[in-house]
């Protein structure tokens, strides 16, 4: 019955006059141009194509006004010493990131070079309607694929319970796949000032890789701050090690790693946004 309802609903949308459809998802429905542009402020095309119709309807229900959205992107060249695990991070321009041509082999015995993009988006509609997303995008595929941590730290914001989404998307043989990390799952941890998700990176022959989290929030007081971070494990660790953290002013201004996780992450810079009213 649920599948029939979805098919009928999509059919009705297609009949609405004046709608310009911009995007066909892999999950079987079309997204109008205006809604696709809103989604693109928070998510990549790979993420959007894996969205369920229920997830799409939830996003629509947020009634996000693009004029109330702040979006910040950062680009990095990261060189990792495979012997000592020392990481050298250099912030680069968008032009340098886009111009980089991925070689067949981006690593040697001693060093590995990666190009990464980090994106934080915050929609502030009102005290009761706010939406945060953070994405780490790999342009070059990492050789070490263990448990990476992604999450947010909040001051003045309260997370809406049950609204957190975590998703790893990757492309194999031209098809986009996804792994979801649901609210309350074993890979997620929640604190009074934020949360984190430990994502076990898919170990396969892939051409794209992205990790994303998003959550709805309310404002408790101003000024209100949001910090997003994505931390990559530079060697192989367990889920228990990956979750050895608290939320605070640590790696990426989000993760304070405990003794079993310290030294196993790249310390990637985070992104922050604050609002005053």
Say if residue 164 is exposed, middle or buried (CB neighbours under 10 Å; 0-12, 13-18, 19+): buried
Q: What is the pTM of this model?
A: 0.91
What was the pLDDT predicted at 22? Answer: 80
What was the pLDDT predicted at 1? Answer: 32
Classify domain 119-275 by CATH architecture.
Answer: Sandwich (2.60)
Task: Report the side by side order of strands in the sheet with 271-275.
Answer: 188-191, 194-200, 147-155, 224-231, 271-275
Name, in order, each residue with C-beta under 8 angstroms of 207's C-beta and a sequence gap of 6 or more.
141, 171, 172
Strands (E), the chain: 21-24, 30-32, 69-81, 87-92, 111-126, 129-138, 147-155, 157-159, 165-172, 175-181, 188-191, 194-200, 208-219, 224-231, 245-251, 255-257, 271-275
φ, ψ dihedrals at 180, nearest 5°: -100, 145
Q: How far apart are the C-alpha atoms of 29 and 231, rounded to whole Å?
A: 33
Predicted confidence pLDDT, tens digits, the chain (277 residues) = 333 232 323 333 333 445 677 899 999 999 999 999 999 999 999 999 999 999 999 999 999 999 999 999 999 999 999 888 899 999 999 999 999 998 877 666 688 999 999 999 999 999 999 999 999 999 999 999 999 999 999 999 999 999 999 999 999 999 999 999 988 899 999 999 999 999 999 999 999 999 999 999 999 999 999 999 999 999 999 999 999 999 999 999 999 999 999 999 999 999 999 999 9
What was the pLDDT predicted at 10? Answer: 35
Domain ranges of the chain: 2-61, 119-275
What was the pLDDT predicted at 20? Answer: 77
């Amino acid at each position: 019955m649920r599948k029939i309802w979805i098919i009928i609903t999509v059919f009705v949308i297609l009949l609405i006059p004046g709608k310009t459809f911009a995007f066909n998802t892999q999950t079987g429905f079309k997204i109008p141009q205006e809604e696709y542009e809103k989604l693109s402020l928070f998510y990549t095309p790979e993420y959007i194509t894996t969205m369920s119709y229920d997830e799409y309807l939830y996003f629509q229900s947020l009634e996000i006004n693009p004029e109330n959205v702040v979006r910040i992107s950062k680009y990095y060249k990261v060189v990792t010493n495979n012997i000592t695990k020392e990481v050298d991070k250099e912030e680069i321009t968008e032009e340098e990131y886009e111009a980089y041509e991925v070689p067949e082999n981006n690593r040697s015995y001693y060093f590995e070079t990666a190009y990464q993009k980090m994106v934080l988006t915050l929609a502030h509609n009102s005290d009761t309607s706010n939406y945060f997303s953070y994405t780490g995008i790999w342009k070059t595929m990492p050789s070490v694929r263990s448990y990476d941590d992604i999450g947010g730290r909040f001051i003045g914001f309260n997370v809406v319970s049950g609204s957190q989404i975590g998703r790893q998307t990757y492309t194999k043989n031209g098809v986009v796949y996804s792994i979801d990390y649901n609210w309350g799952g074993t890979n997620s941890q929640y604190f009074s000032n934020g949360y984190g998700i430990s994502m076990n990176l898919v170990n396969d022959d892939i051409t794209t890789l992205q990790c994303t989290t998003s959550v709805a929030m309310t404002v408790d007081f101003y000024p209100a701050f949001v910090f997003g971070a994505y931390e990559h494990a530079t060697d192989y660790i367990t889920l228990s090690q990956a979750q050895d953290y608290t939320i605070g002013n640590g790696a990426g201004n989000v993760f304070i790693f405990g003794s079993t996780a310290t030294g196993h992450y790249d310390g990637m810079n985070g992104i922050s946004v604050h609002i005053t009213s």
